[in-house]
Chain A
Amino acid sequence: MNIYVLVKRTFDTEEKLVISNGKIQEDGAEFIINPYDEYAIEEAITVRDAHGGEVTVITIGGEEAEKQLRTALAMGADKAVLINTEDDLEEMDQYTTAYILAEYLKDKDADLILAGNVAIDGGSGQVGPRVADLLGINYVTTITDLQIEGTAVKIVRDIEGDAEELETSLPLLVTAQQGLNEPRYPSLPGIMKAKKKPLEEVEIDDLDIEEDDVEPKTETLEIYMPPKKAAGRILEGDLSTQVSDLVGLLRNEAKVI
């Protein structure tokens, strides 16, 4: 089976975030594979091990994203592709990202494409379904279980807490929700092997994409921290005073009850 995983290198939002000059400071920040993409990688490896074939991980990003691709290779992916837009594109949005990924994938005859359901930094959840639409294949989002037999596919997906059971077929794009599996950690031999696995780098010229085709449709005017709340008030005194103060504050100051 010909399996592709869309992987995004994301800012680790567990770490401190600093904005200066209207930009998120990246120097010294921690970057990771988007956690939902780790579920996608794990699932891809499991499917390959059961059905044979090859797992290729793809990312759009700069040179630094090689690190996340190597991690995916160390987990067990077979090949990696870095679509390096660093020198060509100043600005991108979900339209752009999906367009480039679909241009790369359009002649690859993928049976199964996996993505994360959402990136923890950009947070739109658009890229997976957009790519599927551009490729003309079906998609199912926020999946928590995947069973494949031949080209028949059975899926359980999370819909706002309820579990929907459905059937569809390959070729297909799915997006991973937490609960799908437990991503493995790269093993030491895995890390050694990953160094020798193929990592191809392409630029948008190689994909016959004109810069005009990938002009973003949206524009970010401003990035900012939420207005600092007045420091939360930790109530004091004995517990019953705290409790009655709290009820008073919720009724009279915050006016929410």
Chain B
Amino acid sequence: MSKKVLVLAETREGALRNVSFEAIAAAKQIAGGGEVVAVLLGDSVSEFGAELVNYGADRVITVEHPHLKSYTSDGYGQAFMAVIEQESPEGIVFGHTAVGKDLSPKIASKLQAGLVSDVTAIEGEGDGAVFVRPIYSGKAFEKKTIKEGITFVTIRPNNIAPLAREERSGDVSSLSVDITNLRTIIRNVVRKSAEGVDLSEAKVIVAGGRGVKSADGFAPLQELANLLGGAVGASRGACDADYVDYSLQIGQTGKVVTPDLYIAAGISGAIQHLAGMSNSKVIVAINKDPEANIFKVADYGIVGDLFEVVPMLTEEFRKVM
């Protein structure tokens, strides 16, 4: 049976997030020929509707309200539930992002529904869709299905490929919703993450650990990242030592990333770090300790001093790029 599937689309710094395009692709697969409807919530978001259609949404519904300017579970919850009421979907896909993680359990609870969180792959389609997700800090995987009720999943960014962008046409309509009784008031957001870079969407990440030894030590890593069009990340060790801000932290507590290329320099490879990056397509480890755990997940390893290796690597890439 084909399904109607809703997708919660998200914006960040005035642009749609890639994970929203990936969620549309996931929704197509779950829909099995049915309709995919993207939902945009915010104070002024209708301008993004057309692009969601270009990435494969059949239709877009926007809910605009001053109370939706910042995310709150009450505000977004009321708006999304109103869309559900209007559309009676058989499936829902969110990104496994800060918003998706916070909101999806609330919606699932209101629908008395099952929810499969942090999905990294979908096998089959329509009613036969099976969801793959990492468990035990990424040491194992499980395959799950939803036995009854709505098919509700959140997807990990950078794992499910979006559909190719094409000029398409589809209806963008707005729904007006009364948003009342917000129990949370957002006072301020202290931006700590670097402007423009969204680690969870980066295709190349050069990450440094305690082995980088100082804030200045990150400069060669940044240079390599810039050359490769990527972003710099860090282990908790480097954040705790104040070499970089916690917003760069990768791992169970920090960001979960799945780049095409992850270069780990001076990172030992603790399980909490691996939980955030072991799904990366190709992993390179640079560590002076040949016994370091990071080599167990690495595709390629160089045993050596990162202060020698990283600048040489930058030089070598420069020659061929």
Contacts and interface: CB of A to CB of B under 8 A. Distances in A.
Contacts of B270: 14
Interface in A161-183: 161-169, 177-179
B112 A179 contact: no
A14 B191 contact: no
A133 B106 contact: yes
A159 to B, nearest CB: 4
B105 A222 contact: no
B146 to A, nearest CB: 5
B69 to A, nearest CB: 13
A222 B143 contact: yes
A126 B108 contact: yes
A122 B321 CA distance: 43
B190 to A, nearest CB: 4
Interface string B290-315: 10000111111111100011001100
Contact of A129 (B73, B228, B303, B309): B73
A214 to B, nearest CB: 12
Main secondary structure on B side of the interface with A: mixed
Closest 9 CB pairs of A and B: A217-B114, A161-B247, A129-B105, A133-B109, A13-B137, A218-B114, A138-B183, A124-B117, A126-B105
A187 interface: no
Nearest to A120: B137
A161 B105 contact: no
27 contacts: A13-B275, A121-B137, A122-B135, A124-B117, A125-B101, A126-B108, A126-B117, A128-B105, A129-B102, A139-B73, A139-B106, A160-B247, A160-B255, A161-B199, A163-B190, A166-B184, A217-B112, A217-B147, A218-B115, A219-B144, A219-B145, A219-B147, A223-B142, A232-B283, A232-B296, A246-B302, A247-B313
B200 A160 contact: yes
Which of A13, A216, A220 counts the most chain B CB atoms within 10 A?
Answer: A13
Interface of B: 73-74, 97-98, 101-102, 104-106, 108-110, 112-118, 130, 133-149, 183-193, 199-200, 204, 228, 245-249, 252-255, 260-261, 270-271, 275, 278, 281-285, 290, 295-304, 308-309, 312-313, 316-317, 320-321
A138 B302 contact: no
